[in-house]
Structure 1
Amino acid sequence: MTATPAIETRNLSKIFGSGDGEVRALDDVSLEIGENEFFTLLGPSGCGKTTLLRLIAGFETATSGELLLYGKDISHEPPYRRSINTVFQSYALFPHLSVAQNIAFGLEMLDRPKAEISKTVDEMLAMVRMEAMAHRKTSEISGGQQQRVALARALAPHPKVLLLDEPLSALDLKLRKEMQRELKRLQVETGITFVFVTHDQEEALTMSDRIAVMSAGKPLQVGSPREIYDTPSNRFVASFIGESNFLNAIISHVEGGAARIVMPGGTQIDAVLPAQAPREGAVTVAIRPEQIELLPEGTPDTISGTVTDTVYFGTDTHTHLRLENGETIVVRQPASREGRAACERGETAGIRFADGAVRVMEDTP
């Protein structure tokens, strides 16, 4: 990243408590978040993503390390002196005020001129497509509309960075998907850096320019959605983003970035070998379910397995198989695909992996 990052953390740590009760919520985190970037902090509960967001907002103070906004150290600046706004999970709207009054509230606290406030409120209402609701109280509108108002209120002062703390979690599935598109549209239109916190991998993949997958207080991998999904650096990332099958294998030969490995049943295949992965011996490999082909029993160069279950998802069918060594594997196929191998429970079928689909994990079981 050549330009000055919008947000930069340098060896940032946050410790709660002391002694036996000490909790290291953030552990020596160094990240760069670019200008006009939709950056997502993704991970399970307790991984440190919300703590990092609160440090950026100024609601918490770091135990050690630095926090920079466009190159300026803001580690000890109070929240109101940072050009950073936050949209909370609860929205925190004023139910007795109208939509327009809620949007204007922050601008009034900043003593902006009335003409500027009026103009900005109109711009924000148009941006979130809420012009017709301007005079309705926020207690009289839907959850999705309330979320739009919260976004408009946070964007109205034109902050340099907008933080979003799981703002879609209270919405139903259909509305959540609609708001995912809206959030990305708003980020592109405003040019403001968005830092989004979620535990939902689909939200992260569909909206983000880059994702930081976090665990135990630190980012394990940072990259584009495609990089994170296609080339996970370790088992945690491979299992948290999408679905993965993990199998035991043995490396028999290494050449460059590829390894010849022996799979269950003795089948030998080529696997991608990341720089930090083991170069010999027993390893764990990961394969995405959609990168496996289900074939009739006895097809050459396949691994044999017994079907234990078939689950229909509408668009996909998931076939679960037990391999000869007792390991299990899931194959995902489009439900409309014709000519598939028989997949009734108890039947035997063969599986074959797509070229480049098998990846040696950095960590062994």
Structure 2
Amino acid sequence: MIEIESATKVFGTGEAAFRALNAVNVTIAENEFFTLLGPSGCGKTTLLRLIAGFEPPTMGAIKLAGDDITRLRPAERPVNTVFQNYALFPHMSVAGNIAFGLEMLGKPKDEVDSTVAEMLRLVKMEELKDRRTSEISGGQQQRVALARALAPHPKVLLLDEPLSALDLKLRKEMQIELKRLQHETGITFVFVTHDQEEALTMSDRIAVMNGGEILQIGNPKEIYERPSARFVANFIGESNFLDATLKGGQVTLAAGGTFDVSVPDGVADGAVSVLLRPEHVAARAGAAQDGEIAATVDTVVYSGEATTLHLSLPTGEKVKAKIGNAPLGDGSLPKEGDSAALTVATGAITVLRD
């Protein structure tokens, strides 16, 4: 559906020039929920604005369904955008806001009415169709903004951090709603966020960005379990980074223990950095036995569904172990100041390229 070829965007000139995007290449499939994920300033919103036509690329091309749209104005593109600020008309009803864009396109009244009814059903707001948008909740306003953007049946819907203004519980509910809407409409969604949980929850594929470049593209499981670079591993989820030595498909941790690993292309035997997720580390109180790693508990943090142990290894390295809580807790976890023995799940260690 979308092909972005060597897209570069430079703001300013001379010494004041800032390269927001650096020769980005990406292909987004039809009927895909595709997420651009990264920290503030990484270039994700700039890339979205290039697709929308709000900014022209300095170099490169953008194609939509095979057609070059690089120089088309926003109104000439079969693309709609939902912004962080929903920009609804507060004096209009819910139905009036959804109808507005269709009326501006000169659609017949019968078509406008039937489309508005379809969109109200899609976002489950039939009973609120006559309510002014200034009189409904933030989550309901977000649904109206989505319905208005979906009403002209665009080929692509762009979403620029549309959930960031919502509270945590509502944001989680809307994540599921967005995925449902994308599935029901069959429209390609391109979603921008800095929230890793949003990206993992909703996306078919994720592009992790930093410094104006895409570092890795993959489905949520690939991005989380097999990150290609240290930045990706650190940005997605909680991470332990440990020093190790790689030899013949095995790594030996500086803190002790040898493990079989898959070796990424281009990584040679020798000193490497490895990733170990906290939920893949088990801990018990007491001295380490064969196959276990010795540690000392620095801090214990209870967070409801899990307890996280912050530990120190004999090498001085810091490790987190995240352990799911039993229904009533069995009291067997080590306490602050205790010696602990750590066990690493099979296949849990990932060798990083950098």
Equivalents in 2 of 1:274, 1:351: separation in Å?
26
Residue identity matched to 1:332? K
Per-residue CA shift, 1:244-271, capped at 9, x if unaligned?
10011122x22xxxx2222123432223
Partner residue of 1:41 out of 36, 43, 48: 36
1:196 matched to which residue of 2? 191
Query: Counterpart of 2:181?
Result: 186
- Amino acid of the structure 1 residue aligned with 2:107: R
User: When the two structures are aligned, how many residues end up with a matched partner?
Assistant: 352
Corresponding residue for 2:350? Answer: 359
CA contact (8 A) 1:55 1:62 kept: yes
TM-superposed CA distance for 1:282, in Å, is 1.4
Q: Distance in 1 between matches of 2:135 and 2:331?
A: 52
Q: How does 1:1-365 map to 2 (within 5 A)?
A: 6-251=1-246, 253-254=247-248, 259-277=249-267, 279-295=268-284, 296-336=286-326, 342-363=333-354
TM-score (norm 2): 0.97
| Structure 1 residues without counterparts, runs of 5 or longer | 1-5
CA separation of 1:250/1:78 partners in 2, compared to 1, >3 Å: closer, same or farther? same
Contact 2:37 2:192 in 1 (8 A): yes
Q: For the Cα contact (< 8 Å) 1:53–1:163, is it kept in 2?
A: yes
Q: TM-score, normalised by structure 1?
A: 0.94
Deviation by residue 1:318-362 (Cα, 9 ceiling, x = unmatched): 001100010000001011187775411111111121111111110
Maintained 8 Å contact 2:287/2:294: yes
Q: CA offsets, 1:94-150, max 9 Å, x none? A: 111111110001001100001100111111111111111111111111100000000
Superposed CA RMSD in Å reads 1.2
The percentage of counterpart residues that share the same residue type is 59
The 3-state SS of whatever aligns with 1:45 is coil
What is the rounded CA distance, in whole Å, between the counterparts of 2:256 and 2:144 in structure 1? Answer: 60
- Structure 2, gaps ≥5 residues long: none
Opposite residue 349 of structure 1, the aligned amino acid is A
> CA shift at 1:283, angstroms?
1.1
CA distance in 2 between partners of 1:195 and 1:74 (Å): 16
2:33 and 2:203 in contact (8 A); partners too: yes
